[in-house]
Structure 1
Amino acid sequence: MVRDSPRWGSISVEENAPQRAPSLAEQTYQTLKRWIVEGDLEPGVALSENDLSRRFSISRSPLREAIRRLQEDGLLNASGPRGFTVPDLSVDLIRQVYGVRLALESAAAASASIPDSEVKAAGAELRALGKEVKAGKFENFTRSDFEFHDLFVQNCGNPMLVDHVDRIRGHVRRIANFAGQLAEHSRASYAEHVVIHEAMQSGDNLALRDAVEGHIRGVTDRLVLQLEARAS
């Protein structure tokens, strides 16, 4: 089931739902993925193939293709006959996703060759974001996370590694949207980004790898503590 209020009411099916073939399945996939990542589809609540088909006003075939891809991404779980649920943000999910992210992004950092111009531009952006973070405004910092990490991911020289990083980013974005609501976590993450940027400036790939590992481990530990506290 999709949230009835307030977020579902703000989503215009007519504007967002896929409209034309031959990319109907792709548009359906991208729309559902966006709703899952942004939290518009409630975790743990049953979704039905009939309901989604009706809401999108599309046939079962493109919908099933989109659902199959989302299941492969781990963003939808099967739940009964022709039913699905969005996975909960659990401790196990965070540890799994961030364990994979740690392995991939630390490897990327170890081999990255980042142009000086990109490092300089990132420093200016980081300083501007720092003023917002200090003022308790975290939205732009959260939104810029992938762009910052892409400085070493996209410049690692390993297209297969880049592809694998991209594959888990639906999960990472979903978790980051939750984490962005946590003030102390966001402040700590910003400080870790500063350390990563300093390592970029030094040109020392081992220092960059260590800074990235420290950041991802820190994020993991903070989010696990938050979820365990909520469950207790």
Structure 2
Amino acid sequence: MIPQPKFAKAISNSLASQAYARLKADIFDFHFLPGDRFSENEISERLQMSRTPIREALFRLQREGYVEVLHKSGWQVRPFDFQMFEQLYDVRSVLEAAAVELLCAMPEVPLLQELGAIWFVPEDERITDAPTLSVHDERFHEQLVEASGNAEMARIHHDITERIRVIRRLEFTEEMRIDVSYEEHAKILRAIIERRTSHAKDLLRAHIALSQSEVKKITIQMLHQARARSAARAAA
């Protein structure tokens, strides 16, 4: 077998990354609906790429749980499994509560001041761009677990974060959730800084439960709207 030149590998990896990003965005934005089927050739034509980077992108999405391969019949966007998402949220809640307990037992956690610079700001200085705030929200929770010092717990939590991102990011499509997020994060941080362990854990669990309820409601609504648009296009 003739070795592939380094520059050719780099180009292939770049195209695969582009295909991955575009396909994942289409799934996140419900351009591909849960249960939709497609072939590698269809995606290749749509993205104007060869099948090799498309296949690499699809296998990556498969490993992350967004698509699944169908025997001799192409690929499918994985149907939403709300029971699985609820279980992941439950595990996330356990991990973050454990992290908060560890943080409250530490004599000093410099990270808390860093997070406070983001979440203790006045209302007129709050981030209102939903995608940007979604990133900060995700990192808030990841940083709490990372700061606990338990590397394995942080690794598992990061994996869960990746798996629930497809619906979690929808939380900030409702403007009122922006203010609620700031207020709840600030309360959690103050409780940790003041070493009120039980109160901090209660606040965190309630925050995650409310977020879970909101994203499920929004997801169901957006899926219904996307299916209605798809049906309208098919009927036109």
Q: TM-score, normalised by structure 1?
A: 0.70
Q: Which residue of 2 aligns with 1:183?
A: 175
Q: State whether structure 2 residue 205 is matched by structure 1 residue 213.
A: yes
Partner Cα separation in structure 2 for residue 172 and residue 46 of structure 1: 22
Partner Cα separation in structure 2 for residue 153 and residue 73 of structure 1: 21
Query: Structure 1 residue 226: deviation in Å?
Result: 4.5
Aligned residue-pair number: 210
**What does 1:63-78 correspond to in 2, within 5 Å?**
63-78=54-69
Q: State whether structure 2 residue 42 is matched by structure 1 residue 48.
A: no
RMSD over aligned Cα atoms: 3.5
Q: Which residue of 2 aligns with 1:120?
A: 113
Partner Cα separation in structure 1 for residue 123 and residue 48 of structure 2: 41
**87 and 138 in structure 1: CA distance in 2 versus 1, 3 angstrom threshold:** same
Aligned partner (choices 14, 20, 25) of residue 35 of structure 1: 25
Q: Which runs of 5+ in 1 are unaligned?
A: 1-17
Partner Cα separation in structure 2 for residue 78 and residue 186 of structure 1: 37
Contact 1:67 1:76 in 2 (8 A): yes
Partner Cα separation in structure 2 for residue 37 and residue 150 of structure 1: 24
Q: Which residue of 2 aligns with 1:98?
A: 89
Q: State whether structure 2 residue 158 is matched by structure 1 residue 166.
A: yes
Partner Cα separation in structure 2 for residue 121 and residue 72 of structure 1: 34
Contact 2:66 2:78 in 1 (8 A): yes
Q: Which residue of 2 aligns with 1:110?
A: 101
Partner Cα separation in structure 2 for residue 198 and residue 75 of structure 1: 37
Partner Cα separation in structure 2 for residue 115 and residue 56 of structure 1: 53
**42 and 218 in structure 1: CA distance in 2 versus 1, 3 angstrom threshold:** same
Q: Which residue of 2 aligns with 1:131?
A: 124
Query: Structure 1 residue 99: deviation in Å?
Result: 2.2
- Secondary structure at 1:83's aligned position in 2? strand
Deviations 1:55-100 (A, max 9, x none): 262344x543442332232211345611221544x64354233223
Amino acid at match of 2:17: Q
Over the matched positions of the two proteins, sequence identity in percent amounts to 20
Q: Which residue of 1 aligns with 2:233?
A: none
Amino acid at match of 1:181: T
Partner Cα separation in structure 2 for residue 101 and residue 223 of structure 1: 15
Q: Which runs of 5+ in 2 are unaligned?
A: 1-8, 225-236
Partner Cα separation in structure 2 for residue 123 and residue 37 of structure 1: 34
